[in-house]
Amino acid sequence: MPPPYSILTDESPVLNRRESHLLRSFDELLHDFIIRGGPQPPEYSVLNRAIRHLGDSVRGGSLSQEEVSLYIQEVTEKHLQGTMQAEALAQKYGYSGDFEIIDHIYTRKTHSDPSLRLWDLYFHSQAAPVAVRNRKGYFQDLLQKHLEQHSGPEPLQVLNVASGPSRDVHEFYLNHPQANLQMDCVDMDAHAIAYAQRLCAPWTERLRFHHRNVLRFVPTRGYHLTWSAGLFDYLSDRLFIHVLKAMMSVTQPGGEVVVGNFSDFNPSRDYMELLGRWQLVHRSQETLLALAERAGAAPDQTEVQWEAEGVNYFLHIRC
């Protein structure tokens, strides 16, 4: 008999015997945590290992991704409503990584119900959300460095491609109220633009928001810094090169293009893909440098850096 909280029953029509066995042991572990109100920090490694084991089974072909997805969807709907995991699965705006969930990662949103809160703390402890929070600081440090190097009365011109919630921009102006910085923010989601405009309302004179698809349009002001995070890891190589070329073409000589991309070292990849249905194109340093070269950057113009977690790479191109 499966435990009373279990989703899987002996009559599960969609599972073959082998899948049923693999998922059932995961189901038992998960429901033990559900009964106890979620994993405590010392237990994270047990659950992380079990998720990686699921990932290995999918990669090895002994379990289908569809069955895992179906199972996770059912468990989440039944037991984890309102958690960050449920929010990731719901794709409220029609795609993974929308401005709202990204902002909930930045602000470490947790459920008010104590019996669900531990699940959100577990979500926020994963390497991927930590790396997302780190990239906010990375962008802010980059802005500060460029401001320090910038001379003359004209403002530093920055282009922010796929700007999402603009929490990073909001915090930067809050901490640098006098910053001589003008920024163009582009995003294709009208909800993201409206949200960011509200968040950044005190600094509208130094900000311009463009509701556009960057595959078709980038503003052409002539920028000292063009930045994008959370976009390139959703793009094929062809589109990566297309958008990178566009960013390079609107950056002034002596300026810098910096684009973020999740690295091929992401310990929470199985968690994202299997429990959050959140797929990214993970890229190695070599791949990023090769794509930069195909976009027209000379090798001595480019380098790859990363945030403290090592999960988010940043391709830097000196123009």
**189: contact with ligand SAM by CB under 6 A:** yes
Q: Which is nearer to ligand SAM, 31 or 135 (CB)?
A: 135
**188: contact with ligand SAM by CB under 6 A:** yes
Q: How far is the CB of 260 from ligand SAM (least distance, A)?
A: 7
Cβ atoms of residues 199 and 165 within 8 Å: yes
What is the contact mask toward ligand SAM in residues 81 to 110, using x (rule: CB under 6 A)?
Answer: ----------------xxx--x--------
Q: Given strand 312-318, what is the order of strands in its sheet? A: 207-211, 181-187, 156-161, 223-228, 251-262, 312-318, 302-306
Cβ atoms of residues 166 and 185 within 8 Å: yes
Q: Which is nearer to ligand SAM, 57 or 166 (CB)?
A: 166
Amino acid at 260: G
Please, what is the Cα angle at 113 between 108 and 117, to 5 degrees? 40
Q: Which is nearer to ligand SAM, 149 or 213 (CB)?
A: 213
Q: Which of residues 225-244 bind ligand SAM (CB under 6 A)?
A: 229-231
Q: How far is the CB of 309 from ligand SAM (least distance, A)?
A: 15
Distance CA 192, CA 186 (A): 10
Q: How far is the CB of 267 from ligand SAM (least distance, A)?
A: 19
Candidates 116, 214, 247, 315; binder of ligand SAM (CB under 6 A) is: 214
DSSP type of residue 249: H
Distance CA 7, CA 74 (A): 7
Distance CA 38, CA 120 (A): 9
Three-class SS state of 149 = helix
Q: Strands 302-306 and 251-262, how do they pair? A: unpaired
Q: Which of residues 158-187 bind ligand SAM (CB under 6 A)?
A: 162-165, 168, 186-187
**207: contact with ligand SAM by CB under 6 A:** no
Q: Which residue is nearest to ligand SAM (CB)?
A: 164
Residue ranges in contact with ligand SAM by CB under 6 A: 97-99, 102, 162-165, 168, 186-189, 192, 213-215, 229-231
